[in-house]
Amino acid sequence: MEAFLAVTAGILFAIGFYLVLQEHLLKLIFGISILSNAANLVIFATGRMTRGTPPIIPETKGGLSTSFANPLPEALILTAIVISFGLLAFLVALAYRSYRDFISLNPNVITNQTNRPDNDEEPSES
């Protein structure tokens, strides 16, 4: 099962890098989202997928006597999902604003429009 998850994560990383290298802001956003999902899958796969009891210590016992599931990868993944959702929302808002201001989602066109001499704002002397 871990080999399948490793191959799937590798494919997701490849797709994500391919999309990040494209010249379109929405493809860049989708690529970053896919890269974060691939990273979550890698964290999940390295957490040693074993069956075990939940890591809850009963009050009557002094400790865990049986094997238990490792809760750390799941906690890291949940945190990463929240962070990647916030990043995705910010990037979508940024792409919307770029399209509204520059009528383009191509980063090269946006860079060329912002570097034109007629866009330089001179401070007013008043």
Give the pTM: 0.79
Compute the average pLDDT of residues 53-58: 70
The domains found in the chain, sorted by start residue, are 2-50+69-117 (1.10.287.3510)
pLDDT at 2 over 70: yes
Compute the average pLDDT of residues 48-74: 71
Hunting for tokens 């860049």 — which residue is that? 28
pLDDT at 38 over 90: yes
Task: Note the pLDDT of residue 46.
Answer: 85
Compute the average pLDDT of residues 13-41: 96
DSSP the chain: -HHHHHHHHHHHHHHHHHHHTSS-HHHHHHHHHHHHHHHHHHHHHTT-----B-S---TTSSS--S-B---HHHHHHHHHHHHHHHHHHHHHHHHHHHHHHHS---HHHHHHHHTSGGGPPPPP--
Task: Note the pLDDT of residue 65.
Answer: 62
pLDDT at 105 over 60: yes
